[in-house]
Structure 1
Amino acid sequence: MRLSTRYAAMCMALALPIHAAAATAQTAAAFSPGDPRHARLYALERQAVALFDSDDYALSMSQKTRDAWARLHAAALKMKVAGRPHPLAGVALINLSSMDQIDGKNPDALARVNEGLSLLAPFADAYPVAWMQGLSIKGYVQAALGDVTGAADILAQASGYMDGYIARTPADKLDPSTHMLRSNIAFSHAQALTRLGRNDEAVDAQKASMDARITAAGPNSPDTIGSYYSYAQMLQRADRDGEAEKYARMAVDIATDHVDRKHPSYARALEALGLLLSRTGRRNESLDYLQRAIAIKRDTVGTGSLYFQFGLQNLGTVLLPLERYADAELLFMEAERGFRAIEGDNSPQSARALAFAASAALAEGRRDQGVERFNAALARVRAGSDEDRDIGQRVYPYLIPALIAAGQDEEARAAAAAFAAETRQLDNAPAIPLAQAAMLSAWTGPDRAALGGTARQLVGLLRDDASVHDDAELTEAQRAALDAILAVAGQTQDAALALDAMAILAGSRIAQANRLVAQRLVADPALAARVRSLQDRTKTLQAADSRLLKALATDSGVAAARTERAKVAATVDAERAAIARDYPRWVEAHGGERPDLGALRAGLSADEALLAVMPAFDGVYLLAIGPDGTRIERAPMDRAALVALVGRLRSSLTPAGFDQDSAHTLYSQIFTPAILAALGQARTLRIVPTGAFASLPFGMLAQRPIAAVTPRTAWLIRRFAIEVQPGFTVTKDRRERMAARDQFLGIGAPLTFAAVQTIDAPRGGARALSQLPPLPGSQAELRAVAHRFGMDRTTLLIGRDASEAALRDRDLSRYGVILFATHGLVSGEMEGVTEPALLLSPPAADAVGDDGLLTASEVAAMRIAADWVILSACNTVAGDNAAAPAYSGLAQAFRYAGAGSLLVSHWPVRDDASAFVTLETVKGAARGLPRAVALQRAMLRLIGSKRPNAAQPYIWAPFILMGR
């Protein structure tokens, strides 16, 4: 018999988890699989195999094929061998179970494969390949239904059996289907191992699967392409991102060159590369590959397959970290309907898609709908399988806080008890869900004495988890956990706990913005080795945390687990402190600094206060630290509504007006009476905003409703001098005069990419850059500032001279003030822009190493002595995106390079206004004013001036002072 490769191809395409149960094979004596007395059975077998192996996918999976296998099964049952049904009865059922599994009918597949293996067991050595195929299918299906540990064990046995079979069988007796089955078993084994967190073993198993697939089908086969991208996925899970990208791109390249786009592997290769790119911070590239994959699937195989539904779900999960919840929700609901249509009303995959859609509804502020969907997802899985606890791990961390917020205390308590019980029963339960279960149990229980301790334990685990991932991006599940921690901090007024949670949110944004800066620093082999060692030790600590939490949950072995955890934690803390001492710039760029509440307060001057504005998951949290105390609150409106308000205010701004109601509503939501009381009489306010709030011009928030804009309107800038900073590091204002400060360098008004004629049409990132509009006012602005400085102290790089080459050839340490008047680009918002950057003129045709972008990592390598760096018209592309990290990357890069303060504008403004604010701020600071106060006075002076429309926020509000 020649085994079908259909199961193999679909197994790779779906990339689902696996599970198996053990079986004992006993060979019936004196049986020959070629006995001529059974010729009719062999003819029926050949008919079924021919249909199942057809190149016509619809035919191979048709009822006609099922009928052929059923005829073989019925005939073989009647034909007795040593008193038992002929083993081809079992072979037929195993192939029918393969069809069930491909169709997503996992319970049917499990029932058939169990019966088939039972019939085949006495003859396993006579049909070794069919026997192993059955074990592989059983393992696959059982893992899909939740028994991962058993799957790993049985698939390891199947792999060993297959290795022995291949070793003792002459090479000329092994056909490609045997090697294909070897590949399938190893693939299933790898999937089970990775679900158990045994990623290094999973890499080895997947490598064996790939090698067997190459032997079976050749290096350019569509089936082999699946092995390349599956191997890439395993490498990434083992934190081997560079190798992973190599194999993912290899899969796409081979698919493009050798595979018909109708083949499932073509789209799946695009999808796999897209997912890998998304997990390493390259969102724009990621979405392009994923959307192309879905379009190809829709055109080639249609929407009636699991293959298509997983594509929808994958794209949705990439949109979640971008906070594009509405877009993701549509995809999840389409996938939910598709999974249900294929797998039935109790489909576990439809339940998972529904749970994803529920989390999106919560994030969009629709709590009742989210709760309803979560409960429906739980009910759906429980009706289908009592053993599938994965859905509970997905649902409960969202559902329980939502029930608490809705006042449904009894329901929340019952859900918390179920979550804790199910988590305790998981094999190798990770530390984070164990800690979440403990915190939620304390939160809903009658005795809340343990609540603070469990919340601090969870925030520590989340911080450790973020530190072992180079992409530094938080999933929506992690943000939801931080949201719950912040809610607890608000209830208990635990400012230190709130600060810890907010530092993780802010640190993630900083690390994303500085990803390539940090990579450049880690190019130092000594630092790279220490960082990897720290990450490895942190993983060991996570495992120790998991064992301690499991011991606490089961009240067994607590003392030993606590001792072990303390020993590992001491090692990690010592290594982390040593790296922070020796490489402080890397720690800062990686967003890894953990602020101390006492030290932060001590760093504030007598008239200073700090306010953090942090969107978490469905809420926006406020932390005020002032001379009169601290206050942690959740803003009255939910996150989605407040983000929409920020967008409305930003989009409404024109030289003639703006949305006045939004300006006051945002003020009242952020500056609540309790927050204002904590800020006290401070005159300078340091604001730490993330997400959409990083694009909010706080100075223009209106303290009272606005009837008409006048020079006396009660803007927030009248109450506070404001400095914005990406994180919680507080440094004292530097006021000393620098020796080089009288020299001014202006760079801007670059040539546009569209205006430069090249031999080849722009491609990729160059094409995207060519769409950026010119900045006609930037040259006038530069000349206006230069005029005020004096031309004898000014250097201007304008037009073609505003290039990377011109900057590289210049001694930048000579200048005290440097002004960039050009576009500022945010990482991931445009093709080819992988980190924050300033747009310069396109490079000359023969330029080496120039691309027209001055990136954050390139800035960090410069040597700058400027007291001021000014970025004018910087945020004109995408800074108002909810996920954009605003200026943190560029700001810190200029700090690393040696600059003093950074003055930036949210949008391009009139030349005279920009020049006025720039010069007045620099001159005020030179006279000894604190820098934030110097900017405040410059803005107020502009508001009160006779310049046209000067009182309108569009003219004066975009300027912000950036701190660390």
Structure 2
Amino acid sequence: MLLSTRCSAVLLALALPSSAAVAAASAPFSSSDPRHARLRQLERQASDLFDSADYALSMSQRTRDAWSRLHDVAMKVKVSGKPHPLAGVALVNLSSMDQIDGKNPDALARSSEGLSLLAPFADAYPIQWMQGLSIKGYVQVALGKVAEGAATLRDASRYMDGYIARTPADRLDKDAHMLRSNIAFSHAQALTRLGRNAEAVDAQRASMEARIAAVGPNSADAIGSYYTYAQLLSRAERDAEAEKYARLAVDVATDHVDRRHPSYARALEALGLLLSRTGRRAESLDYLQRAIAIKRETVGTDSLYFQFGLQNLGTVLLPLERYADAGPLFMEAERGFRKIEGEHSPQSARALAFAGSASLAEGRRDEAVERLTMALARVRAGSDKDRDIGQRVYPYLIPALIGTGRMDEARTAASAFATETRQLDNAPAFPLAQAAMLSDWTAQQVGSLRESAGRLAGVLRDSAGMTDNGELTEEQRAALDMVLAVAAQTQDAALALEAMAVLAGSRIAQANRLVAQRLTEDQALAARVRALQDRVRTLEAADSKLLKALATDRGVAEARADRGVVAAAVEAERAAIARDYPRWIEAQGGERPDMDALRAKLGSEEALLAVMPAFDGVYMLAVGPGGTRIARARMDRAAMVALVDRLRASLTPKGFDRTAAHDLYRQIFTPDIMATLGKARTLRIVPTGAFASLPFAMLPQSPVAAVERKTPWLIRRFAIEVQPGFAIGATSRRQMAARDQRFLGIGAPQAFGAQAGIQSESGGAPMAAQHYFRNGGADSRALAELPPLPGSLAELQAVAARFGAKRATLLVGAHASEAALRDRDLSPYGVILFATHGLVSGEMEGVAEPALVLSPPAAGATGEDGLLTASEVATMRIGADWVILSACNTAAGDGSAKGAAYSGLAQAFRYAGAGSLLVSHWPVRDDASAFVTLETVKSAGRGLPRAVALQRAMLKFIESERPDAAQPYIWAPFILMGR
């Protein structure tokens, strides 16, 4: 008899005998011996019942009795002094029924006994032998004996390979290949649970190849193998290959499978989750939303399959800070899980916990406490052993309780969190550090609180460096929020700086993901990065050991010494990479800042202000003549972000939301912050998140009734320089006088589509960068729709005239091309000005990355598409003292207030060697761009600091007679971006 179809579908796990057991089958034996016809008749009777289409009958006591009758009779029939092997076959099938019924201990006992009876005759009953071992391996894993199960399944895979090899091809049917696929699948899953991801990939590939042999490459079953293989490749950090197979699954599903088949939606979902994991969350949303729509249509909403889809989509929205969208999804999933699984559903508790974290991020602390407490109580009522939900709930619940003044409840929760975390086997460093800090915080132990908060910040700093895209999870940002709250409470500036550096570094790495990818095409660097990541994993293990030792007060000295050795090795490797590959370090967020070094590098009239949203709060760190100050804004993060959105949305050439602008000023520039900034005349601002899109220069220092030339904008108080991180270049960097500089101007390019006669029909602003890419390259038709920039040529000519004909070079029209730049030595130019369209987007994903639009390539040209992308810029060698990007929207991450901290385009010029950059927050009016650019260059040429030169240019424009010159929309988009 072949393996039961039902068993194959339910178990997805088929194992085989050990080599020792197989070797025991030495006695001559024939399964068709006529003397045993009665036993074979009993086997057929039991098999017919078990394979019945009537599920109730197949799993009935009648079927069990049939297998038991076969076992009892076969035990009395002796073959070479041993019970007939059909006694073992009967037990194997009874164990299968036990496993399907969820009776795993019974299934393990019966499968083990059945295999013992079958072992001497395994080659005569290979399918049944493999069935028995599959059940044994499966239930070993299910019962937590994962290593034993993996070993069983490993031997099963080897035996199956031998069985396939020695069986003639014409005798191998679909069932044999499917059996091989299921065995390898189960082995891969067990290996994954053991963290042996590379081996799991090999096992799943074998499963996929066998599945294709069984059902063909375009079947629904093959699709499942493709996306499962992609998932395991991703776990093994082979993301490029993973994406290939995840996309293959979607393509095959689209072309060959009815959309009602579960594999269709699952393929979309698998690709969406993979894209999310690799930092392309915006792109992933489309696939996840399509999957949910198909599930809603085909299987309805009363299935776990649908509820998990809702929850997956919500978890992707959380890191995008789309909490208002995520919350309802979690609550819908919570209701669905509870309806299906009952009031104590663990999945409903998890959905409720996710919804609680979204409530906290939105500033609704009471609602967060209610949801998180309910989630904890619900799962505990169902089981006293599920500590996973506590790990999800406590890090949000405890700060929410503290924020609502419920300190006694917070202390109780912190104690439970610490106890449960210590009881976890191999607890990671992150939850251990969280639990320790929250215990100290609720106990109001200020001395130890600083130490534990610093340890948590260090763990977060190291773990943030583990991901190639630099993205922080919401759990990590919530933990950083806690660290910053402690820093504000204790006024620990060094602690605040470390936490803020992690936040800023994450944003920088996100904006420069494609730049970093291009840099690591250098195999030597790639190997160094992998080695560093391996060392950081070792450091995380050492952190866990130390934190566990501190929690139990055992072995602390030894654990601390071991960690010190590992930490020194990590720092040495990081320093070596920084020395040899400084641009990669910058693209990943820069070197770690030091408060003393930062203060030393500030000029005598300079101050620094960091403005950063964390999770539910916005924090400011001021460093100036008045010392240091850490403060949390009175408004929650959600309210502050809403203010930035209001201000950005209200900006027009004729006005803006004056109330929102002044409210932002009052929230950020509090009396304590202003006292710390003191009499500084230049302010370096380090903003992240929504505040990277905030034009600080236009914040009014007092309420504004009407815009006038003398309105007290912040630009009147400070010359402002914005920087993405805390690295401050040496103040001694040489600033050449204009007479000694050479100038290169690139812009006014030939329009795309001009040669083909495509006419632009657009007079509006450029769209997001993704609109201009197709199939990995520039989309000429979309680029032909870009609106003209009539003032760009005049701007270039005016600035060039300032330098003089002998020191100025212009590349305009058809000469403003990638080829012209590639063939030119850029190192002699002190000032480089691009006057053209800049394409940016909030989510620089896939092939779409920020770019400057140049002229279309000449016919037959290879290796260029007319777009100078950020990753291409990063590989250039630029010696310019500064670069001016007089292009549309070259500063902001996107048109909303949630973009990354300045586009990778601007940062790429820094990595290429530029000193400072003059960029813009939104499309700039041509005459304003030319005026501000020229005046800034002139003033800087006379020796003024660049920030002061820009300040004077702005103020001069405001006071000019040009139309609407005093309106911030016209003059405020310009920012000076420093190193």
TM-score (norm 2): 0.86
Cα distance, 1:137 vs structure 2: 5.5
2:593 is paired with a residue whose SS is: coil
Structure 1: 5+ residue stretches without partners: 19-24, 52-63, 100-108
Instruction: Report the counterpart of residue 123 of structure 2 in structure 1.
Output: none
Which shows bigger deviation, 274-283 or 493-502? 274-283
Cα distance, 1:816 vs structure 2: 4.0
Instruction: Report the counterpart of residue 285 of structure 1 in structure 2.
Output: 283
Residues 912, 80 of structure 1: alpha-carbon distance in 2 compared, 3 angstrom cutoff: closer
What amino acid maps onto 2:48 in structure 1?
R
What amino acid maps onto 1:316 in structure 2?
G
Which shows bigger deviation, 841-850 or 919-928? 841-850
Residues 727, 434 of structure 1: alpha-carbon distance in 2 compared, 3 angstrom cutoff: same
Residues 798, 334 of structure 1: alpha-carbon distance in 2 compared, 3 angstrom cutoff: farther
What amino acid maps onto 1:349 in structure 2?
Q
- How do 1:934-949 residues align onto structure 2 when only pairs under 5 Å count? 934-949=949-964
Residues 627, 201 of structure 1: alpha-carbon distance in 2 compared, 3 angstrom cutoff: farther
The answer to whether the aligner puts 1:895 opposite 2:910 as a matched pair is: yes
Instruction: Report the counterpart of residue 919 of structure 1 in structure 2.
Output: 934
Distance 1:205 1:347 in 2: 33
Cα distance, 1:6 vs structure 2: 6.5
Contact 1:90/1:115, CA 8 A, preserved across alignment: no
Distance 1:289 1:205 in 2: 27
- How do 1:263-342 residues align onto structure 2 when only pairs under 5 Å count? 263-342=261-340
Contact 1:151/1:189, CA 8 A, preserved across alignment: no
What amino acid maps onto 1:658 in structure 2?
F
What amino acid maps onto 2:872 in structure 1?
E
Contact 1:283/1:828, CA 8 A, preserved across alignment: no
Choose from 778, 788, 794 the match for 1:783: 794
Residues 278, 723 of structure 1: alpha-carbon distance in 2 compared, 3 angstrom cutoff: same
Choose from 427, 450, 453 the match for 2:451: 453
Cα distance, 1:530 vs structure 2: 1.9
Residues 429, 868 of structure 1: alpha-carbon distance in 2 compared, 3 angstrom cutoff: same
Instruction: Report the counterpart of residue 375 of structure 1 in structure 2.
Output: 373
Which shows bigger deviation, 276-285 or 736-745? 736-745
2:791 is paired with a residue whose SS is: helix
What RMSD, in angstroms, separates the aligned Cα atoms of the two structures? Answer: 3.7
Choose from 396, 401, 404 the match for 1:403: 401
- How do 1:299-698 residues align onto structure 2 when only pairs under 5 Å count? 299-698=297-696
Choose from 837, 853, 877 the match for 2:867: 853
Distance 2:94 2:867 in 1: 62
The answer to whether the aligner puts 1:70 opposite 2:60 as a matched pair is: yes
What amino acid maps onto 1:604 in structure 2?
L
Distance 2:70 2:929 in 1: 94
The answer to whether the aligner puts 1:123 opposite 2:97 as a matched pair is: no
Contact 2:686/2:722, CA 8 A, preserved across alignment: yes
Instruction: Report the counterpart of residue 883 of structure 2 in structure 1.
Output: 869
Residues 249, 11 of structure 1: alpha-carbon distance in 2 compared, 3 angstrom cutoff: farther
1:345 is paired with a residue whose SS is: coil
What amino acid maps onto 1:751 in structure 2?
A
String of CA shifts for 1:85-138, please: whole Å, max 9, x gaps: 999997777667777xxxxxxxxx53x444555566543455544444544664
Distance 1:448 1:89 in 2: 67
Distance 1:676 1:6 in 2: 72
Distance 1:599 1:668 in 2: 30
Residues 546, 84 of structure 1: alpha-carbon distance in 2 compared, 3 angstrom cutoff: farther
Distance 2:130 2:188 in 1: 20
Residues 260, 953 of structure 1: alpha-carbon distance in 2 compared, 3 angstrom cutoff: same
Choose from 48, 51, 58 the match for 1:49: 51
Cα distance, 1:70 vs structure 2: 2.6
Contact 1:358/1:370, CA 8 A, preserved across alignment: yes
Distance 1:11 1:673 in 2: 66
Residues 201, 547 of structure 1: alpha-carbon distance in 2 compared, 3 angstrom cutoff: farther
**Bigger Rg, structure 1 or 2:** 2
Contact 1:746/1:820, CA 8 A, preserved across alignment: yes
Cα distance, 1:466 vs structure 2: 1.8
Cα distance, 1:228 vs structure 2: 3.1
Cα distance, 1:512 vs structure 2: 1.7
What amino acid maps onto 1:160 in structure 2?
D
- Percent identity between matched residues is 66
Distance 1:887 1:762 in 2: 21
String of CA shifts for 1:834-880, please: whole Å, max 9, x gaps: 43322334445533222332111211222334333222343288624
String of CA shifts for 1:758-794, please: whole Å, max 9, x gaps: 89x9955779885579665623143145235439636
- How do 1:38-117 residues align onto structure 2 when only pairs under 5 Å count? 42-43=44-45, 45-46=47-48, 49=51, 51=53, 64-70=54-60, 72-73=62-63, 75-76=65-66, 79=69, 81-82=71-72, 110=102, 112-117=103-108
Contact 1:745/1:815, CA 8 A, preserved across alignment: no
Distance 1:81 1:492 in 2: 74
Contact 1:872/1:908, CA 8 A, preserved across alignment: no
Choose from 821, 824, 843 the match for 2:835: 821
Instruction: Report the counterpart of residue 154 of structure 1 in structure 2.
Output: 149
Residues 301, 43 of structure 1: alpha-carbon distance in 2 compared, 3 angstrom cutoff: farther
TM-score (norm 1): 0.87
Cα distance, 1:631 vs structure 2: 0.8
Distance 1:758 1:222 in 2: 44
Residues 616, 489 of structure 1: alpha-carbon distance in 2 compared, 3 angstrom cutoff: same
Contact 1:403/1:412, CA 8 A, preserved across alignment: yes
Residues 356, 9 of structure 1: alpha-carbon distance in 2 compared, 3 angstrom cutoff: farther
Residues 447, 906 of structure 1: alpha-carbon distance in 2 compared, 3 angstrom cutoff: closer
Residues 303, 754 of structure 1: alpha-carbon distance in 2 compared, 3 angstrom cutoff: farther
Cα distance, 1:274 vs structure 2: 2.8
The answer to whether the aligner puts 1:908 opposite 2:923 as a matched pair is: yes
Distance 2:376 2:420 in 1: 13
Contact 2:67/2:94, CA 8 A, preserved across alignment: no
The answer to whether the aligner puts 1:251 opposite 2:249 as a matched pair is: yes
Structure 2: 5+ residue stretches without partners: 15-20, 76-86, 119-127, 760-771
Distance 2:588 2:865 in 1: 25
Choose from 808, 818, 822 the match for 1:804: 818
What amino acid maps onto 2:51 in structure 1?
V
2:611 is paired with a residue whose SS is: strand
Distance 1:649 1:773 in 2: 31
1:778 is paired with a residue whose SS is: coil
Distance 1:699 1:762 in 2: 34
String of CA shifts for 1:265-306, please: whole Å, max 9, x gaps: 333233323322332233443333333333343444443333
Residues 583, 7 of structure 1: alpha-carbon distance in 2 compared, 3 angstrom cutoff: farther
Contact 2:687/2:901, CA 8 A, preserved across alignment: no
What amino acid maps onto 2:465 in structure 1?
S
Cα distance, 1:394 vs structure 2: 1.6
- How do 1:696-845 residues align onto structure 2 when only pairs under 5 Å count? 696-731=694-729, 732=731, 734-737=734-737, 741=741, 743-748=743-748, 751=751, 763=774, 776=787, 778-787=789-798, 789-790=800-801, 793=805, 796-798=810-812, 801-813=815-827, 815-826=829-840, 829=843, 833-844=847-858
Distance 2:780 2:478 in 1: 36
What amino acid maps onto 1:123 in structure 2?
G
Residues 672, 96 of structure 1: alpha-carbon distance in 2 compared, 3 angstrom cutoff: farther
2:59 is paired with a residue whose SS is: helix
Distance 1:537 1:738 in 2: 48
Distance 1:423 1:924 in 2: 60
Contact 2:518/2:871, CA 8 A, preserved across alignment: yes
String of CA shifts for 1:546-590, please: whole Å, max 9, x gaps: 122222223333333222222222211212122222222221121
Cα distance, 1:40 vs structure 2: 7.4
Distance 1:458 1:292 in 2: 39
Distance 1:73 1:31 in 2: 26
What amino acid maps onto 1:950 in structure 2?
A
Distance 1:478 1:97 in 2: 43
The answer to whether the aligner puts 1:881 opposite 2:896 as a matched pair is: yes
Contact 2:841/2:895, CA 8 A, preserved across alignment: no
Residues 430, 642 of structure 1: alpha-carbon distance in 2 compared, 3 angstrom cutoff: same
